[in-house]
Chains A and B, each alone.
Chain A
């Protein structure tokens, strides 16, 4: 569903990605971990068609993102650091606007996704009055509004309290069960380990380790990460 082969991205002389190869099967959650500057955000932005890769290939549902970004866009839902929301508009207006961009007409689907993220009672409130956690949940509603096949999430749990993180984690599991493929970056693996089906480690713009998630596998995985990143 998501496949990348030796994807690179240069910013001037600096290589933000130096060769990322991933193969993420459908209906799974893949965690992408790595320290700050490892290239996680650049990878998400490339897959989201916001940044053009310098080299390599990346495909979503078989469509090459560099060759046909327009065909990729309806397939993906994206949550970035920024909420992509307009504070002076209400939650419902934000979703109606987003829906109109994706050909989702009317109030029914926006109301449905607002209910999914627990914000239906606040549908007619301006987003400017929302807490950070509520904005994050509304960002998820925005991302799934057009029923994408793939969700690309850049540190979606950052800044959320324990309850908010639990709610989002349950939401993501439900999306996976409904058939979505999810790529999610994080640098708090201890918290998010149980959420993923597999984990890929980025270090200095490369994938250095991949592992299937098992309930008791975190300590050995962290030890392997330590060893690999010190080698690098």
Chain B
């Protein structure tokens, strides 16, 4: 694996994103939209009394932002016919995976950070001193989610209904390994039941397994 190739791909993706703002705009609006829907159907004061609810709203938002974010990663390359250029370059398929993962993670984590802010404003919720820990759980959960999401997005890049397929495949794979432990860890930080560490014991090994799977599978995933 060539780390220089991964770094170049990540830089290129972020530069393209800064130039076009295609992904960021979509993700920010999606995040706001989801939070507005929750704001509309739930009593905003509930959040102050129920940490699990706040954690659930946050992770529902992160899940859909992550799903849409990861779908664009390989979809755009395929639609433009540029993915072959990455495969053709020496350095291995895993470098493509890492580079794309890094760029998608940077964008998704940035939007999720804004989502934390949006939730605080829309639900008049004060995260207090745990905001940094909540952010770190968001970072760990997002990385875990995207680590397998990237593999699935690459796998279904040529499918006509790839966006739906990514969601359908990601839900069962990440629900118990990443999403629910992330919700529980976040709720625990906000004063709910459960502990942070027990949930991290699920999320971190799952992420390691997902990255190992990507290392083994990605050369075949990118091949015809």
State the A residues within 8 Å of B (CB): 45, 48-52, 70, 73-74, 76, 78, 80-89, 93, 97-98, 100-103, 126, 142
Contact = CB atoms under 8 A, between A and B. Distances in A.
Contacts of A98: 85, 89
Nearest to A42: B224
Tell me if B's interface is mostly helix, strand, loop or mixed. Answer: helix
A231 to B, nearest CB: 31
B12 A102 contact: no
A81 B81 contact: yes
Contact of B224 (A50, A81, A83, A86): A50
B192 interface: no
Given A52-B223, A89-B15, A73 B82 contact: no
Contacts of A76: 88
Given A78-B88, A97-B8, A101-B8, A84 B224 contact: no
A84 B89 CA distance: 12
B81 A101 contact: no
B16 interface: yes
A101 B8 CA distance: 7
A82 B89 CA distance: 16
A83 B81 contact: yes
A85 B81 CA distance: 8
Contacts of B16: 86, 88-89
A30 to B, nearest CB: 20
Contacts of B224: 45, 50-52
9 contacts: A50-B223, A73-B89, A78-B84, A82-B81, A82-B84, A84-B84, A100-B8, A101-B5, A101-B90
A100 B9 CA distance: 9
Contacts, number: 70
A126 B20 CA distance: 11
Contacts of B9: 101
A70 B92 contact: yes
B20 A88 contact: yes
Given A88-B16, A88-B19, A89-B15, A80 B84 contact: yes
B116 to A, nearest CB: 29
B8 to A, nearest CB: 4
A82 B9 CA distance: 19
Given A100-B4, A100-B8, A87 B92 contact: no
A100 B99 CA distance: 13
Contact of A50 (B82, B84, B92): B84
Contact of B82 (A48, A70, A82, A102): A82
Contact of A73 (B11, B80, B90): B90
B87 interface: yes
B90 A89 contact: no
B56 interface: no
Contact of A49 (B12, B19, B88): B88
Contacts of B92: 70
A103 B8 CA distance: 10
B87 to A, nearest CB: 6
A201 B188 CA distance: 69
Chain A to chain B: the 6 pairs with minimum beta-carbon distance, closest first = A82-B81, A84-B85, A101-B89, A100-B8, A88-B19, A73-B90
Nearest to A11: B224
Given A50-B84, A73-B90, A82-B84, 11 more contacts: A45-B224, A49-B87, A50-B87, A50-B88, A50-B223, A51-B223, A78-B88, A83-B81, A84-B81, A84-B82, A126-B19
A83 to B, nearest CB: 7
B24 interface: no
B88 A89 contact: no
Which of B5, B20, B88, B91 has the most chain A CB within a 10 Å cutoff?
B88
Contact of B88 (A73, A87, A103): A73
B200 interface: no
A103 B80 CA distance: 24
A161 B11 CA distance: 35
A103 B12 CA distance: 15
B140 interface: no
A97 B12 contact: yes
B170 interface: no
